[in-house]
A and B are shown apart, each in its own frame.
With several copies, the nearest count.
Chain A
Amino acid sequence: SLGGTHGCASVAVGSPVVPLGSAVTASCTVRSELCRGLERGKIRIAWMLDSEPMAGSQQQGPGGTEVSNLTVPHFNRSQARLWCLVEWNGTRQRVGMAEIQAGYPPAKPSNLTCMLNLSDYGLTCQWERGADSLPTAVALKCATSRAQREATGEAVTGCTPRGGGRRCTVPRRLLQLYRKMEIWVSARNALGTAESERLCIDPMDVAKLDPPTLQSIRSVPYQTDCISVAWEAARTSAHMELQCELRYRSPEDLAWALVPGISGQARPTQHCGFLFGTQYHFQMRCRRPSPGGYWSEWSPGRNFTTHE
């Protein structure tokens, strides 16, 4: 290859990526017999950090080479080039170079939350993370619980956010529905890896439901201050256990009155305490009964005026 494996000179660094502010050591080895025009014994090696001259030590190395060592005590640039130069015909020749980056191990991702979309059963997760000081590979990891993984050898799956983003979607085929899965975010760069807290959730428990529909609202015979509300869950949650709540108010009310804890699928619910001859506006929403469930949007509203 051009200049042989090592060539006329080569620069070696302890590590191309270092923690910001830490020391960087480098050595430049010049093999005069491989650099036409360089007279052995008269080689003076110099260093530059980007365009800043640096002073290194110089001594003879093995096999007639000249070696210069350099230490930068506190390397505090995010990125720099370390140049090795030699004097030649009255000029300074750049004969070797090493790129050095500095930064921090990735920050621990936090506030991981996930939501299952019922139209395609993809699980979309998002999280927070500090800025990257170095090129960082981020991935959401998703697996059935550790014990099962070891027993069945199921692979860890997940998804990768685009452009180092903070959200991505695990497709249905990589999910295990109705069973606890471990979900976490991993961020890795040259200086280390950081993992978020692990969520242990059944994807179905974090489904975002579509709103129910209010079918009809009627007065209850002989109980003039009561009304009966007929409602229906959305088709996408027709098979699910639900926990729903109703809210209503008349135009004069500032706040909504809330009727929590309506469960089951579509049995009409009865509520009392309504004023006579008053128009009320009703809405309903549902969610999964499990902890961490997301409320659906409120259903389209329905008006009903109680009897005089």
Chain B
Amino acid sequence: MPLPEFSGDQDFQLFLRKSLEFTRKIKGDVAALQRAVCDTFQLCKEEELLLVRQHLGIAQSPLEQCHSRSFQAEACFSRLCQELQSYHSSLASVRELLPAHADLVEQLQLDAANLSSNIQQQMEDLGLTTVTYPAESRGALPVFSSLFHHQVGSFFILADFQRFLETAYRALRHLAR
């Protein structure tokens, strides 16, 4: 994977170490919420819900800009910022579903927004230009036609967010020395 020229910059390395830790924190909180959804709604295995996922039309963005073969810093960082912002809003439907975990979901939303603006700020510090992508369907808050669909929708918001964080973590770790 080609390394951008600024990757040796000390501030950038500090930003990467902080962002890696922040991503680990968010991943831990998402995993805790996934356990809560499993315990509360008996929704635990993704393979049992693929038909309803397909029916609900929940798409996940592939983040190809952050994959090793086609890694491109500006595109990847821009994508991370945008996806984090959209998870910040779509997590609201998880919050409605899990009132007992509202504080944890709110923290998760704040963390997603913070990580996104931290990356945004770092791009500006490095003079990178932000690439904007067409907003995913997940941007707006989904409206679910039934409680079951709301639960399955929330299950996939968390599962996709966990996968997204995994990809982001790998991209950041690649850049960190």
Q: Do chains A and B touch in the complex (CB under 8 A)?
A: yes
Q: Which residues of A contact B (CB under 8 A)?
A: 1-8, 10-11, 34-38, 50-51, 81, 83, 85-86, 88-89, 91-97, 99, 120-121, 144, 148, 151-152, 172-173, 176-179, 202, 204, 238-241
The 8 Å CB contact of A1, one of B41, B103, B117, B144, is B144
Q: Are A94 and B145 in contact (CB under 8 A)?
A: no
Complex contacts, B25 vs chain A, CB 8 Å: 239-240
Instruction: Point out the residues of chain B lying under 8 angstroms from A177, CB to CB.
Output: 22, 110-111, 114
CB of A121 within 8 A of CB of B145, answer: no
The interface stretch among B69-77, B79-87, B146-154 is B146-154
Contact string, B12-26, partner A, CB cutoff 8 A, digits 1/0? 000001110110110
Partner-binding segment picked from B1-9, B52-60, B128-136: B52-60
Verify A38–B17 contact, CB threshold 8 A.
no
| Alpha-carbon gap, A110 to B6, bound state (A) | 39
Which residue of A has the minimal Cβ distance to B23? A239
- The closest CB in chain B to the CB of A86 belongs to B51
Which A residues are CB-close (under 8 A) to B142?
A: 2
Bound-state CA distance A81–B164 (Å) is: 31
A94 touches B49 (CB 8 A): yes
Give 5 CB contacts A-B under 8 Å: A34-B55, A35-B51, A38-B51, A97-B148, A240-B21
> Quick one: given A3-B144, A238-B28, are A8 and B52 in contact (CB under 8 Å)?
yes
Rounded to whole angstroms, the CA-CA distance of A4 and B51 in the bound complex is 15
Q: Does A8 lie within 8 Å of B51, measured CB to CB?
A: yes
Query: Complex formed: what's the CA distance from A202 to B14 in Å?
Result: 12
**Chain A contacts of B147 at CB under 8 A?**
97, 99
Q: What's the minimum C-beta distance from A43 to chain B, rounded to whole angstroms?
A: 11
A178 touches B55 (CB 8 A): no
Instruction: Kindly list 18 other residue pairs between chains A and B, CB separation below 8 angstroms, not including A3-B145, A92-B48.
Output: A2-B143, A3-B55, A3-B146, A3-B149, A8-B51, A10-B146, A37-B51, A50-B42, A81-B42, A94-B48, A97-B148, A99-B147, A120-B103, A148-B121, A172-B107, A239-B24, A239-B27, A239-B28
Please tell me which one of the listed residues B19, B50, B114, B124 contacts residue A93 in the complex, with CB atoms under 8 A apart: B50
Select A241's contact among B17, B27, B110, beta carbons within 8 Å.
B17
Contact A7 B110 (CB under 8 A): no
Q: B24-67: which have CB < 8 Å to A?
A: 24-25, 27-28, 41-43, 47-52, 54-58
- Within 8 Å CB of A239, what residues of B? 21, 24-25, 27-28
CB of B123, distance to nearest CB on chain A (Å): 12
- Residues from chain A with a CB closer than 8 A to the CB of B115 are 178
Least Cβ–Cβ distance between A195 and chain B, in angstroms: 25
Task: State in angstroms the CA–CA spacing of A88 and B117 once bound together.
Answer: 42
B42, chain A: closest CB distance, angstroms:
6
Q: Is the CB of B149 within 8 A of A93?
A: no
Q: Given A172-B107, A173-B110, A241-B21: A7 and B124 within 8 A (CB)? A: no
Known: A92-B48, A178-B19. A7 touches B149 (CB 8 A): yes
A91 and B22 contacting across the interface, CB-CB below 8 Å: no
Judged by a CB distance under 8 angstroms, whether B106 is at the interface is: yes
**Cβ–Cβ < 8 Å partners of B151 in chain A:** 97
Is A179 within 8 A of B144, CB to CB? no
Cβ distance A286 to chain B, nearest Cβ, rounded Å: 14
Is the pair A178, B50 in contact by a Cβ cutoff of 8 Å?
no
Whether, in the assembled complex, B162 has its beta carbon less than 8 Å from a beta carbon of chain A, the answer is: no
Q: Does B89 contact A (CB under 8 A)?
A: no
**9 nearest A-B residue pairs (beta carbon):** A239-B24, A93-B51, A8-B55, A1-B143, A178-B18, A97-B148, A239-B25, A178-B22, A1-B145
